[in-house]
Structures are given as C-alpha cells and as structure tokens.
Amino acid sequence: MAVLRSCALVSSVLIIIAGVAGKLPGLFQNPHAAGGVDPILFLSEARRDELAVALELTILVCLWLLRSKPVQQAWWVATLGGMFALYHAALAIANIHGPCPCLGTAGQVFGLS
C-alpha cells in the first residue's frame, strides 16, 4: 500500500510541475499581448495563469512540508483536483467545450502561426 501511495504522490507532483512549467513562459510575456478574458474567473489570461501558478506552487510546498503525513498530502492533492474539476464543470455549464477560448490556439501558444 505504501508503494502505491508513493507512486500516486510522485505522479501528482510531476503533473503539478508540468502544469507550472507549461504556464511559466507565458508569465514572462507582455501581459497586454495576452488573449482575452477567462469566462469563468473574469481575469485576464496572464492574471489567471499567475493565480494558477501561485496555487500550484503552494500545493507543492505543502506536499514537501507534509512529506511524512500522507493523509494531509492526499487532502492537498484532492483540493487541487477538486478546484480543477469545479472550473471545468463551470466551463461545461457555461456551454464552453474544449479549452477556454481565452487560451488561443496551439499555433499561437507555441508561435507556429
């Protein structure tokens, strides 16, 4: 059971790190050049990403500080997952399917178009 818990924690940490790494390049761009406004949070794309990175980094710090307390670690991962699920449920209720339109296209994000 401990091995399974350890694997779940490591995979959660890796997913959070990948999420932070994916948002970091956009944080250093001109915030006025960013796309539209998020339809759920009513924040600009740059502010929403700053909020998400701050939250994800806070969760990573909590996971590190609570490394000997697996129940609290699971609570923090579940909290982050719950926020993610709630945001996507709100997008579905608002009839916005797929990624938020404020994100632009993959070509724009990666500078391909």
Residue 34: its pLDDT value, please?
54
CA angle 33, 37, 43 (to 5 degrees): 100
The token pair at 79 is: 């909290």
pLDDT band at 113 (very low <50, low <70, confident <90, very high): low
pLDDT band at 1 (very low <50, low <70, confident <90, very high): low
Total domain count for the chain?
1
Q: How far apart are the first and last CA of the chain?
A: 48
Q: Which domain holds residue 29?
A: 2-109
Whole-model pTM over 0.85? no
Q: How far is CA 62 from CA 51, 78, 80, in A?
A: 17, 13, 12
pLDDT band at 72 (very low <50, low <70, confident <90, very high): confident
pLDDT band at 76 (very low <50, low <70, confident <90, very high): confident
